[in-house]
Amino acid sequence: MDNQKGLAARLRHERDLIRELLNLAAEQRECLITGKADRLGEIVSQQAALLQRLSRAASKTKASSDDPGPLEGKTTPDSSACLQLRAETAELAEDLRRQGRLNWTLARQAMRYIDFSISLLGGREEEASYSSAGRRQARPSPFLMNKTA
C-alpha cells in the first residue's frame, strides 16, 4: 500500500512539472509573437531546469513502478488512482508536445523573418553562377540601404 501511495505521489509530482512546462510554453509562445527576446531566454533556461527535474522524477517513477511490492496483481483504490494519474500525465505530455511543435514553428518563422529583414536592409550576394566566358560571377541582390555612404 505504501508503494502505491509513493507511486501516486511521484506521478502527481510529474504531472505538476508538466503543467509548469505547459505554462512556460504558453508564455514562450507569447514572447515569440511579441518579440520579447530577453524574457524568452529566461523561459528557455527555466524549461531546461524543469526538464532535468522531470527526467529525474520519471526515472524514480519508473523504478518504483518496476517494483510492485507485495500487492502485485491486486486492484486497490490507490492503484486505480495511479492509473488515472498516468492517463492524465500522458494527456498533459501530449499537450506539451503540441505546444513545443507550435513554438518551434513560430521560432523558425521568426528566424526566417529576421534573415529576410537583414538581407533586405544590408543586401546579400545571390548564389554564384558562371558566365558564358566561364568566369564566376555573383549578382548582388537589391537592398534598401545605400552602401556608398
The amino acid at 87: A
Tens of pLDDT, residue by residue over 58-92, are 998 888 776 655 545 554 556 888 889 999 999 99
Considering only CA atoms, give the Rg of the chain: 26
Label residues 91-107 b or e (16+ Cβ within 10 Å = b).
Answer: ebbeebeebeeebeeee
Task: Report the alpha-carbon distance of residue 130 to residue 146 in Å, rounded.
Answer: 27
Mean pLDDT, the chain cut into blocks of 10 residues (149 residues total): 81 95 96 92 96 93 68 58 91 96 94 84 64 68 55
DSSP output for the chain? -HHHHHHHHHHHHHHHHHHHHHHHHHHHHHHHHHT-HHHHHHHHHHHHHHHHHHHHHHHHHHHHHH---TTTT---HHHHHHHHHHHHHHHHHHHHHHHHHHHHHHHHHHHHHHHHHHHHHH--B---EE-TTS-EE-PBPP-SS-TT-
Q: Is 130 within a domain?
A: no
Q: Is 40 within a domain?
A: yes
Q: What is the pLDDT of residue 51?
A: 95
Residue 71 belongs to domain spanning: 2-98
Q: Is 23 within a domain?
A: yes
Q: What is the pLDDT of residue 115?
A: 85
Q: Is 66 within a domain?
A: yes
Q: Is 88 within a domain?
A: yes
Q: Is 9 within a domain?
A: yes
Q: Is 29 within a domain?
A: yes
Note whether 58 and 11 are within 8 A (CB).
no
Is 7 exposed, middle or buried (CB count within 10 Å of its CB: 0-12, 13-18, 19+)? buried
Number of domains in the chain: 1
Q: Is 27 within a domain?
A: yes
**Cα distance from N-terminal residue to C-terminal residue, the chain:** 79
